[in-house]
Amino acid sequence: MSLRIHLRTVLVWAGTVLVLAFAGSGIACAQELTPRAYWPAPTKTNVLIFGYAYSTGDVVVDPTLPVIGTDTQNNFLQFGYQRAFGLAGRSASLLVSVPYVWGTTRAAVSDGLTELEGTRNISALSDTRIRLSVNLLGAPAMDPPAFQQLRKKPKPILGTSVQLSVPTGEFESDKVINAGTDRWALKADLGYIHPIRPTWIAEVDLGVWFFTDNELLGLTREQSPMVAGEFHLIKRFRPGFWASFDMNFYRGGQTTIAGELNANLQRNSRAGATLVYPFRPGHAIKGTFSTGVVTQSGGDYTSFQVNYLFVWR
């Protein structure tokens, strides 16, 4: 009986982290890598996003548990829409993203004498992600000619954003792994773009995630805020064609279940690369890759993603 309780706990934690790692745009809440998040676009620019992502890895989120390992393979389909507009004379954008996820998680635990394995398959809509960003300095609302001037002579840009994870994903209270989180999450963020040369740009941003409570198998789960930072080195080749080296770090997110604090403080980092290639006017392919480089609790996975972007004004 004790071993079965341990296994249920492992699957609870595995499912929780899987949802956090891949909900929304197919990238983690704190674990996400998003280059050019504050690079502006001409007002009235619209972008449709259709994407597929695959993630695989070992997720161990509570080092106090007798965990041998977890193995996860998840697939994601993403639909997103982004609109650029002017807000109080500044360039701004609104992004809405809805993912569908299907995959399998396997976990094993041991009491030193016996091993027990469990498997959970999911296939459902995940949580919707909404992001509003506004550039405060260096990028006023602009038409296409003004935007082309900015491209030729980039300026430092300071921006801010608010991102909201909405609990629209499927959630079954009697299941330990779900496609949705059954809770709200909000990220407040500040980003800065610095032109090194006309075609080389450095981008950094720092934000904090806040989470509401939810329930897992009838137990109240709380999570402390999580600080997340990103760094991107971006090379622009020609309009719409660019590549970047991406790295992040995140710390915090320790959880409490039924009043008991868990030893799962996250102090992790990921690295990856992004390439965007326009193959005809208004059409582009975006490919991303990322993997864990420092993992002290949770999030040790590798992710591949391909998006098709359709742009019009």
Backbone angles phi, psi at 66, to 5 degrees: -80, 65
Q: And the tokens for 196?
A: 């090194």
The Cα 144–Cα 153 span in angstroms is 14
| CA neighbours closer than 13 Å in the CB half-sphere of residue 77 | 5
Looking at residue 299, its pLDDT comes to 61
User: Angle 280-284-288 (CA atoms, 0-180°, nearest 5)?
Assistant: 150
What's at 193, amino acid-wise?
I
- Give the H or E element holding residue 120: strand 115-125
Looking at residue 104, its pLDDT comes to 84
Give per-residue pLDDT as tens, 17-66: 333 333 333 334 556 789 999 999 999 999 999 999 998 876 544 444 44
Considering the entire predicted model, what is its pTM?
0.84
CATH superfamily of 2-312: Autotransporter beta-domain (2.40.128.130)
Burial 258-272 (b: 16+ CB within 10 A, else e): eeeebebbbebbbbb
Q: Output 215-220 pairs: Cβ under 8 A, ≥24 positions apart.
A: 215/173, 215/182, 216/12, 216/16, 216/176, 216/257, 217/8, 217/12, 217/173, 217/174, 217/176, 218/173, 219/257, 219/258, 220/257, 220/258
Looking at residue 1, its pLDDT comes to 42
Block means of pLDDT (10 residues each) for the chain, length 313 residues? 44 38 38 87 96 80 48 89 96 96 74 59 91 96 94 94 94 76 94 95 96 84 92 95 95 85 82 96 95 73 93 94
The Cα 53–Cα 18 span in angstroms is 14
Give the strands of the sheet with 255-257, arranged side by side: 214-216, 219-223, 255-257, 260-261
User: 103 burial class (0-12, 13-18, 19+ CB within 10 angstroms)?
Assistant: buried
Looking at residue 301, its pLDDT comes to 80
The Cα 76–Cα 53 span in angstroms is 5
The Cα 69–Cα 106 span in angstroms is 8
Q: And the tokens for 44?
A: 């009235």
Query: 178, 105 in Cβ contact below 8 A?
Result: no
The Cα 102–Cα 150 span in angstroms is 41
The Cα 220–Cα 307 span in angstroms is 37
